[in-house]
Structure 1
C-alpha cells in the first residue's frame, strides 16, 4: 500500500516510498533522509516569535542523478544559497539592534528573536554536516556546511552580546534604584530629625495655644517652659541621630 503523500511535499516530486513513509503530516524538525540514492533535506525558514512555534519548511531534494530540486522556492542549491542569505540578514539585523539597545525591555525584545534563531541555525548546521558526510564528493555541500558554521558562530555571538547587555542594563538599573533609595533614606532621616527636634515644642505651643497670645506671653514661667521644650527637642534629636551628627 502506497503511503499517503504529505501536503507540504510537491506532487511532482517522485520520492521513494522509503522516504515518504518517514514523513508525517507536517514537516517536523530539521533533518536529513538518505534512502535509495535520494537525499532529502528538511530545513526551516528563519523563525519569528509570532510564528507560535509553527515552523515553515524548506525542502531540498538531491536525486540519484545529481540534480537538486527545492521548495517553496525553486532553483535547487540556488534556493539553499538564498535560504542561508536570509538567515545571515536576520542575524545581522539582530546584531545591529543589540548595538543600539539600552534598556532591559529592549534587550528582552531582542532575545525573543535571538533564541529561536540560534536554535534553528544550530539544527540547520547539524543537517548540513550530515549532508556533507552523505555526499562527501559534492564540494558544494562542503561550502554550504562551512557557511552554516559561520552563521551559527555569528548568531551565538549575538546571543552572548544580548545576554551581556541585558545583565549590564539590569545591574545598572538596580544600582540607580539603590542610589535613589539611599537619597530618599537620607531625606527621610533629615525630616525625622526636624520632627524630633520640634515635636516637644509643638506640643507645648498647642497647649498654650488654647489661650490668647498676649496672656500666654505674660504667663508665669512661659519662657522657662519654652526653653525646656527646645532643650527636650534637642535631646530627642540626639537620641534619634544615634550619636551621629
Structure 2
C-alpha cells in the first residue's frame, strides 16, 4: 500500500516536538532526500524506510536529538535505540533477499533480485552517509557512533549481496551462451555428416536414376520362391541401416583441445 502524503500545509514533524522553527520551514510535506539539519544545538536526522522497488515514493523516518542529548522518538523496546530499530528493518529485508539469492537457479530470478536490490543499495549507503554526518555534528553522542558503525556494516552487506547476485546472473548468462554454442556446434557436426552421406550415395543414386533398376537379377527369382518374407527382410535391413546412420549422425561432436599457453 502506497504511503499517504501529508497535506501541503502540514509538516512531517510531530506537533509535540519542540524543534526550532527552521526545521519545520525546511521540511515540507515529503521527506525528500536523506539528510541532517542542525540549529541551536538541535539535530534532526531524515532517513527513509527500506524502499520498495515497485513504488517510487519513499516513506520518511525522523529522528530528533535535543541539546540535552535526548532522542525522539523513543525505541519500542527498552534498551534499544530508535535508529537501531530502523536498521533492523533494513536487515530483515536484506535477509529475505539473501535467502532468495541462495535459492535462485535462473537468470530471471537473479534479475528480479537485482531489481529489488538496487533501490535498497542506494538507500542503505545513504543511511550510512547521513549517520556519518550526524556523527560529525554530535561527536560526543555514543549512540550515534554505534548506529553509524551498524549502518556501515549493513551497507557493506547489501553491497556484497548485490555483487554476488550480479556474479550469479553473469554466470547463468555465460552458461546459457556456452550451452547454445555447444548445441550449434553439434548441429553443424550433424549437418556435416549428413553432407558426407549425401556425397557418398550421390553417384550411385545418379547412375540408378539414369540407367534404371529394372535389370534382371537373382533377387527377383528369390523373391518369387520365398515370398513376402524376403521383402520383410529387406525392410528390416533398411530400418537397421537407418538406425546405424542415425546413431552416426547424432554422435556427440569431438571436443576441441585447448592449447595451453607457455609461461615465459
Q: TM-score, normalised by structure 2?
A: 0.71
SS in 2 for 1:26: coil
**Residue pairs, 1:1-245, within 5 angstroms:** 5-51=9-55, 53-70=56-73, 78-206=81-209, 216-217=214-215
Q: Which segment is superposed worse, 187-196 or 8-17?
A: 8-17
User: Conserved in 1, the CA contact under 8 Å of 2:43 and 2:65?
Assistant: yes
SS in 2 for 1:21: helix
Once residues 29 and 153 of structure 1 are traced to their aligned partners in structure 2, the CA distance between those partners, rounded to angstroms, is 21
**Aligned-pair CA distance for 1:201:** 3.7
Q: Which segment is superposed worse, 19-28 or 111-120?
A: 19-28
Extract unaligned runs of 5+ from structure 2.
1-7, 217-264
Once residues 208 and 17 of structure 2 are traced to their aligned partners in structure 1, the CA distance between those partners, rounded to angstroms, is 99
User: Conserved in 1, the CA contact under 8 Å of 2:11 and 2:27?
Assistant: no
**Aligned-pair CA distance for 1:126:** 0.7
Q: TM-score, normalised by structure 1?
A: 0.76
Change (3 A) 1:207 1:12: farther
User: Conserved in 1, the CA contact under 8 Å of 2:97 and 2:113?
Assistant: yes
Extract unaligned runs of 5+ from structure 1.
219-245
Change (3 A) 1:6 1:197: farther
**Aligned-pair CA distance for 1:205:** 4.1
**Aligned-pair CA distance for 1:206:** 4.5
Once residues 9 and 41 of structure 2 are traced to their aligned partners in structure 1, the CA distance between those partners, rounded to angstroms, is 20
**Aligned-pair CA distance for 1:68:** 1.7
Q: Which runs of 4+ in 1 moved over 6 A?
A: 73-77
Once residues 12 and 207 of structure 1 are traced to their aligned partners in structure 2, the CA distance between those partners, rounded to angstroms, is 106
**Aligned-pair CA distance for 1:91:** 1.6
User: Conserved in 1, the CA contact under 8 Å of 2:49 and 2:60?
Assistant: yes
SS in 1 for 2:72: strand
Q: How many positions carry a matched residue from both structures?
A: 208
**Aligned-pair CA distance for 1:208:** 5.5
**Aligned-pair CA distance for 1:199:** 3.6
User: Conserved in 2, the CA contact under 8 Å of 1:69 and 1:75?
Assistant: no
Instruction: Tell me the C-alpha RMSD between the 2 structures.
Output: 2.5
SS in 2 for 1:50: coil
**Aligned-pair CA distance for 1:193:** 2.0
